[in-house]
Amino acid sequence: MKAMVIFVLFLFVGFLTTAQDMSKSKMLKGVEVKPPLFTGIKGTVDVIKATDFGSIYDYLSEKTQYPDNFIKRITEGTAIIQFTVFPNGNLGDFQIVNSVSDEIDREVIRVLESTNGMWIPGKNNGNSVEMQREVSVTFMRDGSNHLQLAHKYYKRSNKKLMKNKPKRALRFVNYAMVYQPYSDALLFLRARTHLELGNSDNACQDFNRMKALGYDYIDGYLKEYCEIDKLALVKRD
């Protein structure tokens, strides 16, 4: 059974780009970086000029199955999966950045794995290299408002934190993150909560995530709480 599914795709290669810019080259410190390109066609790793290829959005929309038990529980939210596109056009190193449920995480990874050989690899100065990509899949019921749900749990979390109840605060902010995982306000609140709990590594993970998403105001917190070599990286578990 199909559900209302929204797809958002981001690219991480030291900068964040929008869907419209994904096939364009970027200059990073004198290196011409061309991101990986999904083609939807097996064996396209050696294609030189890529035009009129299929969209990863369309592929995910067609292939992703909505689990029956997922429907019964009325679970919804945004799953974020990071992965590496290798020079041979295959994918690997899957990392779950934001989870909706184990079933959904596995389903998105399953569909991504089925695209092996359908990618033109990223290039640095014309040389094929490994590059990381990220796909965000939002599962939403008709009439649902994820922004309102996230705001509700954000207020509850902040209230618990102000009352010196960080464990409960963490639970509520994690609920909020399911709906709005790219929110800097939520990432910052969760990082603060981790610091209150003494979990500096987890706090740094959220600070680094904010940095990777382009929230440069977090630099001061990174410098104060995190190791210097983590500044521009998204930490992996």
**Cα–Cα distance for residue pair 94/115, rounded to 1 Å:** 13
170 CB contacts (<8 Å, ≥6 apart)?
Answer: 157, 190, 193, 194, 197
Across the chain, mean pLDDT equals 80
Whether 84 contacts 92, CB under 8 Å? yes
Which residue did the predictor score with more confidence, 72 or 106? Answer: 106
pLDDT attached to residue 143: 80
Q: Residues 142-156: what's their mean pLDDT?
A: 92
Q: Do 150 and 225 share a structural domain?
A: yes
pLDDT digits (tens, 9 = 90+) for 14-45: 333 333 344 455 545 556 778 888 888 776 65
In a domain? residue 189: yes
Q: Is 25 part of a structural domain of the chain?
A: no
> How confident is the model over 49-55, as a mean pLDDT?
57
Domain extent at residue 116: 53-139
Whether residue 30 is contained in a domain is answered as no
Q: Among the listed ranges 10-14, 44-48, 156-160, which one has the minimum average pLDDT value? A: 10-14
pLDDT bracket for residue 237 (50, 70, 90): very low
Q: Give me the CATH number covering residue 117.
A: 3.30.1150
In a domain, 160, yes or no: yes
- Tens digits of residue pLDDT in 92-115: 999 999 998 888 899 999 999 999
| pLDDT score recorded for residue 142 | 74
CATH classification at residue 210: 1.25.40.10
Considering the domain boundaries, does residue 65 fall inside one? yes
Q: Residue 91 is encoded by which pair of tokens? A: 């994918």
Residues 132 and 177 in one domain: no
Tell me: do 129 and 191 sit in the same domain: no
pLDDT of residue 112: 94
Evaluate whether residue 3 is within a structural domain. no
Q: What's the pLDDT score for residue 53? A: 57
Query: Which domain-ending residue is among 139, 155, 182?
Result: 139
Residue 61's pLDDT is 81
Cα(2)–Cα(141) distance, integer angstroms: 11
Residue 10 or 125, more confident: 125
Please say which residue of 139, 167, 188 terminates a domain: 139
Q: Given strand 31-34, what is the order of strands in its sheet?
A: 26-28, 31-34, 122-124, 127-129
> What is the total count of domains within the chain?
2
Closest CA to 22 of 40, 34, 8, 7: 34
Structural domain contains residue 12: no
Confidence band, pLDDT 50/70/90 cuts, at residue 54: low
Q: Name the β-bridge partners of 82.
A: 95, 134
Q: Which of 63-67, 143-147, 230-234 has the lowest mean pLDDT?
A: 230-234
Query: For the chain, percent helix, then strand, then coil, each to nearest 5?
Result: 40, 20, 35
pLDDT digits (tens, 9 = 90+) for 206-236: 999 999 999 999 999 999 999 744 434 443 3
- Give yes or no: residues 216 and 155 share one domain: yes
Listed residues 139, 154, 175: the one ending a domain: 139
- Asked if residue 79 is part of any domain, the answer here is yes
Of 73, 77, 79, 124, nearest to 98 by C-alpha is: 79
Is the pTM above the cut of 0.85?
A: no
In this structure, are 167 and 214 located in the same domain? yes
Which residue matches tokens 């970086």?
A: 33
Per-residue pLDDT reduced to its tens digit, 122-141: 888 878 899 989 888 888 87
Q: At CA 40, angle to CA 236 and CA 26, rounded to 5?
A: 55
